[in-house]
Amino acid sequence: MTDSVEARLAELGLTLPVAAAPVAAYVPVVEAGGLAHVSGQLPFIDGALVKGRLGEDVSTEEGYAAARACGLMLLAQLKAALGSLDRVERIVKLGAFINSTGDYIDQPKVANGVSELMVAVFGDAGKHARSAVGVPVLPLGAAVEVDAIVAIKA
């Protein structure tokens, strides 16, 4: 039976990717004290990693789409770890890391890609605290990386 969050994803025309395997010595999700801590997820669109630097060779719009793709991978990791996205009680905090030049200042606009996705999927429970930080480089040359803290139901 399809759970309600998956029904909402279908209404939005969204399909979750296959949860990516870790690329180093960590696990994708750790459940502790009623929270799921989701490791940083990279942006894959049509199976390809979105690479590059905002303010150099990636536009703000492309960065927004990359952040949204990170959000879909966050959801895929949560579903794999929790068994059902209906266990998500609330998105507590997102950390968005944007590979950007020193003079690029639109990190919040890029991070809106993942933030707006969470609100579209979870409604008020998708509203969250957030950091949007410019960094000089990300793993594998990714344009964006997003991690999360999520309150979960037992």
pLDDT tens, residue order, the chain (154 aa) = 446 999 999 999 999 999 999 989 999 999 999 999 999 999 999 999 999 999 999 999 999 999 999 999 999 999 999 999 999 999 999 999 999 999 999 999 999 999 999 999 999 999 999 999 999 999 999 999 999 999 999 8
pLDDT of residue 23: 85
| Fold category of 4-152 in CATH | 60s Ribosomal Protein L30; Chain: A; (3.30.1330)
Burial (0-12, 13-18, 19+ Cβ within 10 Å), 92: middle
Q: Report CA Rg, the chain.
A: 15
pLDDT of residue 132: 98
**What pTM did the predictor assign?**
0.96
pLDDT of residue 3: 61
pLDDT of residue 1: 40
pLDDT of residue 74: 98
pLDDT of residue 52: 98
